[in-house]
Every structure is written in C-alpha cells, then in structure tokens.
Structure 1
Amino acid sequence: MQNVLFSNAARLERAGLRVPAGFYSHDQAMTDLRQVPWRDPDLYWTWDRLLEQFARWSGDVVLTSEGFGAATAEQARRAVRSLQPAEVHVIVAARDLWRTLPSMWQQSIRARGTWRFEDFLASVQEGTFKGFWDHHTANRMFFRWGDLVPPAQRHIVTVPQPGAPRDLLWQRFAGIMGIPGGVCEVTDPGSNPSLGAPQIEVLRRVNAALGDRYPHRMPYQRVVQQHLIRPVLQEQANDVRFGVGLERAGWVAELAEQQIKELQDYPCHIAGDLAELRPGPMTDTMSPDELDDREVLDAAIETIIGLIGHSGDLSRQLAEIPVGVMTRLQNQAGRVRRGIVRRALG
C-alpha cells in the first residue's frame, strides 16, 4: 500500500489526497514521535515539521509508517491530539499470525537483530517477548489508536490469503480512502521481497560478527541495507522458505480465533474478512536454525560473488559521470566543508 501511495503521490494530489514528502519523512517523524533510542538526532524530519506540511493542504492527508503501531498509548494520544481539529481516521492492516511470525523475525534480523528463529518463537510463545504482541499484531496496536477516535473512524484492513488478486489489499485500502479506480498505477509489489532461509541466516551471522560497527539505525541502513541486503541478498534465488513449523500449528490457530473474537467485539469498520486472519494451509517448513554449515557456506559464497558484482556496478556508474560534473561536485563538497569549519571556529 505504501509503494502505491508514494509512487502515485502526484496523481493522488491532483485527486485531492496528499501524501506529503516521501516515505523517509514519515518514518523519521515516527521515530521523533516515539523518541526511540535509535533515532538519528540529525535527521531533518520531526513530527512537528511533518505536521507543518499537513497544515498547508486543505484536503485529506495520509500519514503512514508501520512503526506507528509500536507507539505507546500516550504517544498515540499526543499524535491524535496534535492532528485535531482534523477528522482523524485510524487504519491498521491485519495479517494472520502464521505469516506474521516469520515475517516479524526476518524484519528484526534486517534491522540488525541476531537472535535465532527458535529463540524468537519460544520467547513469543512463552510470553517473555511482550513487545511482539504490543507492536506487531493488529489487535493491541489497533485498540491503542482506535480508542482515541469514534468507531466510524476506525478501520481494519485484512491482508488477503495467498492466491488472492495481487491488488486486492490496495483496493480495500482505496475504498476506505475514497480513491477512485484509475487514479493510481498499481504495480506488482516486489520491491521488498523476503529472504530465503540460507540468506537470512547469513545476514544474522554477519550482524553478530559486526560487533559495534554500523549500529542500528542509520549507519546500518546506509551501509548494510544499501550495499548488502537490497542489491545482493534480495537478488538471490531465495528458494528455501522457512516458517513456524507444524508443531506450533495448534497454538497459532488458537491465537487466531482469539484475535478474530476480539476484533468482532470491537466497534469498527472492517475492509475485508476477519476469517482471513485464520492461517491458510499450514505446511511444514525448514527453520533457518536447521541449516547445516555447507548450506550456509554456499549462501555466503554466493553473497560474496554478489558483492563483487555490486561493487563493479558502482565503479562503472562512477566512471560514467562526466569529468566536469565530478569536478563541480568535488568543489561544492569542499565549499561545504570549509563553511562548516568556519562556523565551528567562529
């Protein structure tokens, strides 16, 4: 949904709906609102600065970042209060736990995590990882935000099961927003593909070996995300999928029924079908913890080959920059550095 929103921002604005700035402005504003310890203090966008963008527009505005789901009750209250007197709607996407659990663990590894998949699952099942339920499941985050607005302004969008039309999730969201058909170009959502079991295990081990280098968040994103995860690991075949495992199927199914019951009893608008929160066919899959060293080594070698190719691509791109352009860029960088030095001395 975010890909469609940001790639069609100009079209949406002509239709009366503004998606201000870009994805990273929303993301940075989220870290400011939540005051997370890994927020980069030098980032440009703050919560108040993004609100200034809203104030310049008389129509509807979209604010989107999955990180808002982890806001505390007080942070959510501050956000809704600061958006008033606008009519605030809360929209949360809900996906079944069978897919959410491996996805959330993978995202934690892609955010510099190092814990093993089985350790993650055990901590969720045993209740020692309370943050999972508060930050990554629809019910709790929805109630924290939804309680702050009237029932007619609370919306749950259920994520369709595999096999549904590729644009169905977008169509549900667009229906809530009143976005007419044909306004947006809806492309195949393939910009953030999942990693396979060997690739995510290589990344987990790299994260552990990094030590204090490239801390989360911006240093890691600028180097590891930009030069390892996106151009190399995501480009590999990723054929070996992983998941929860059939030994936990009953536990996941029981939790799904609890979620559905809670949402059925909560006054809100549902776009989709709460039955989609029941897991689809639950088949047994490999855990990344079960890979042998040969499989991990093969993936690591493939990763090194990918890094060599990525480095070659960057070198060719640099060589293609006209000499005059490079000289102007170097001169401009020198002027910026000299200005910084003068201000520091002054």
Structure 2
Amino acid sequence: MARRVFVHIGLPKTATTYLQTIVWSSRDRLREDGVLLPGLGRFDHLWSSRIVRDDPRLSKASEEHRTAWERLREEIAAYDGDALVTHEFFAAASAEQACRMAEQLAPAEMHVVITARDLLGLFTASWQESLKNRGTAPMSTYSREVSEDPRDVWNWRTLDLHLVLQRWSEAVAHERIHVLPLDTSAPRDEIWHRFAGLLGLGADAYDLSRSFPNESMGVVEAEVLRRVNEHLVAGKALGPARDRGMFIRTYLADERLVPRRGEKFWPQPDRVAECRARNEAALDYLRSHPVDVVGDLARLEIPAELPPRRTPDSVTDAEVAAVATDLIASLLTDVRDLSVDRPAAPAASRRGLLGALRRR
C-alpha cells in the first residue's frame, strides 16, 4: 500500500490546469522519483471525483468511467511509495464523502493539498470559467447561495476556502492539510516549485515546456460568450459534453476569445464586499488552526484599495456587437479553410480544435 496519498482538491482556478499538465506530461519521471500518478489519464481523476461525490449520472456512464476510482485505488494499494490524485472538483465533496475517501485509501495516510488565491480574484476568474462550461448567469447573480449539492462546482461550495477547509478537516487532521497560496504576481513556475517541494520532488528536474495555464477572457469577451450560451441553451445545441467542451470551451473561448486580451474586470461592489467577508473568514480559520501553509499567507489577502476596473454590467450592446462581428469573420475564415483548402495543420494549432479537425 502507498505510504501517503496526496489528494490535490483545487480550488478551481488556482493554477490547477497548469500543475496538472506538468504532472501528466511527466508521469514517468514522477514514478522514477517515487510518486505514483495512477489511472489511464487525467479523466480518470475527474471521474473519480464524480464517484466520490456520488454523482447520479454515473449510471449512464461507460464502464471505464464507472470503475475509475476503483482502478485508482487498486494501483495505489499495489504501490509502496507516495501517490498523487489531482482534480479540483474534489473540493465540492461533503464532509461525509471526504471521510469515506480517507477510509477507502487507508491504511495509506491521506494528505489534502489545496491551492488557493484571494477570493476576489478567484470569484472573478471562476465566473468566466463557468461561462466556458456553458454557464449563462450574469456576474451579479452568479453564486449567490451556498449549494448543498456536492455536484455543484461553480458555487461558493468550492470557491470559499473556509467552507472547504471545514468539510475536509473532518476527514484529515489539520496538520495534513496543506494550503499553497497562489502568488499571481510571481513567475508562473513559482507555484510548481512549492507544489513539487511538498511532494518531495526536485522541481528543476521537470520539463515545464508543455505546461499551459487556463487563461481568462476580458470583460466584453466574457459577456459575448455568456450571450452565446443563452442561445445554445435555448436551442439545445451541441448536446454531448465532449462536443460542448471542444466547441465552446476550447475553440470559442480559449482559441478565439481569450487571445483578444480584453479588459480585466471586477464584480459589482456588493459582490466585492461579499468576497472580502468570506475571504477574511478563511484567513481567520488558517490563523487559528494548525493547517500547513506552504507559502506566504499574505498572498490570500484582498488589497484594501483596488485598481479601477469595469464590471460586466457596464458592457454595452455596441461592444458586444463589435466583438461578435469580428468573431464571425474569424469563424468564416476557419470554415473556409476547413471546407475548401483543408491545409495541413501548422504546429501551433495542433493542440486546438482546428488542428484536430484537419487531422480527421
């Protein structure tokens, strides 16, 4: 049985994609360094999070997906070093589900790893991430309540570090909960160095060239995507989740809207105040409990004075139309390339949707 199992539970939008691309692209090297990354691929960790959280949709899933958590546990049981399980949706688990997970991994010692950031930045980033996942809620109404449903991810349930700490501390002693504050002003690889150090890895020995962050959209671009989603929901277009991920998230959001480098934005003033209150509760919890903070706790503080930025409700119809028409022109060019010329995919596009379609 593995000696320790590090369960990286997020939070969402705290460099999780960046860290996961590093470890999955270096899986063999991790094994050489004594850390097992179990499963057939990163989707096994996603499906394991759904199994742990008792997702009722599992009955309609493939056998490969339904057995993901069982297969991960079998690999961990057959290994005598440390193991790593990583997916940000584990953060939504209830206290009971977290306790059951710890019991299923016993006698291995479970450690919980939480990458975190100040709640104002996290809330802002998570709203646009919900749009990439077909969300339609305006920022003014996004995540107004704390969901009691472990299936709900884009909600205070997973965004509020205080709530996550309270639930998971019922399963794991505070000393085995490791919080890594994200320093958004530091070089990108700084969070990797602390994450690797926690796992006992030599961070400099790993190739970071294939890692990439999950980047955000500008304020106008986010509103464009939100309105597109409203039409898609009304028309029930792009049914399968895989297609939604490919066309909405990858192609439209990440490949067309994110590269525009639009304006950064804040929530409305009442939401900023809400973020401050929840953020302070999390900081109070960390100061009063023996949680292992790996880094500077001050990085989780929200500045008293914020630089001026727009809010999403300030976006005008004219701004939406300008981005949308430019987007249509880009889409037409892509359609022409695919349907008429069908050239070989350039190296830069091989990771994206167009590269995938051209290789069909």
* TM-score bucket (shorter structure): 0.7 to 0.9
SS of 2:203's equivalent? coil
Q: Is the aligned partner of 1:183 residue 2:224?
A: no
In structure 1, list runs of 5 or more residues that go unmatched. Answer: 322-346
CA deviations over 1:275-319 (Å, ceiling 9, x no partner) = 211124512211222111111011112222332344455558966
Rounded Cα–Cα distance in structure 1 between residues aligned with 2:24 and 2:209: 12
Rounded Cα–Cα distance in structure 2 between residues aligned with 1:144 and 1:37: 21
SS of 1:156's equivalent? strand
Paired residue type of 2:52: L
TM-score by length of 1: 0.81
CA deviations over 1:164-212 (Å, ceiling 9, x no partner) = 2322211221121111232212349644210111211111111111122
Q: Is the aligned partner of 1:174 residue 2:212?
A: no
Which of 11, 29, 32 aligns to 1:11? It is 29
Go from structure 1 to structure 2 and tell me whether the alpha carbon gap of 1:249 and 1:54 turns closer, same or farther (over 3 Å shift). same
Identical aligned residues as a percent: 30
Rounded Cα–Cα distance in structure 1 between residues aligned with 2:109 and 2:296: 26
Which of 113, 122, 131 aligns to 1:91? It is 113
Which of 293, 296, 302 aligns to 1:273? It is 296
Aligned to 1:287: 311
Go from structure 1 to structure 2 and tell me whether the alpha carbon gap of 1:250 and 1:231 turns closer, same or farther (over 3 Å shift). closer
Which of 32, 47, 50 aligns to 2:51? It is 32
Which of 107, 132, 135 aligns to 2:158? It is 135
CA deviations over 1:2-49 (Å, ceiling 9, x no partner) = 222122222212211122332222112212222335666137233212
In structure 2, list runs of 5 or more residues that go unmatched. Answer: 1-18, 346-360
Go from structure 1 to structure 2 and tell me whether the alpha carbon gap of 1:255 and 1:177 turns closer, same or farther (over 3 Å shift). same
Who wins on radius of gyration, i.e. which is larger?
1
Go from structure 1 to structure 2 and tell me whether the alpha carbon gap of 1:155 and 1:234 turns closer, same or farther (over 3 Å shift). same
CA deviations over 1:215-265 (Å, ceiling 9, x no partner) = 574342143224322332233x22222112556555543433222111111
| Contact 2:44 2:69 survives alignment (8 Å) | no
Aligned to 2:64: 44
Which of 235, 257, 261 aligns to 1:233? It is 257
Paired residue type of 1:242: F
Paired residue type of 1:135: T
SS of 2:214's equivalent? coil
**Residues 193-212 of structure 1: matches in 2 within 5 Å?**
193-210=215-232, 211=234, 212=236
| Contact 2:221 2:262 survives alignment (8 Å) | no
Aligned to 2:248: 224
SS of 1:163's equivalent? coil
Residues matched between the structures, number: 316
Q: Is the aligned partner of 1:306 residue 2:330?
A: yes
Paired residue type of 2:89: G
Paired residue type of 2:69: W
Aligned-pair CA distance for 1:66: 0.5
SS of 2:163's equivalent? helix
Q: Is the aligned partner of 1:72 residue 2:87?
A: no
Aligned to 1:334: none
| Contact 1:246 1:284 survives alignment (8 Å) | no
Rounded Cα–Cα distance in structure 2 between residues aligned with 1:312 and 1:49: 44
Paired residue type of 1:290: S
Rounded Cα–Cα distance in structure 1 between residues aligned with 2:223 and 2:249: 15
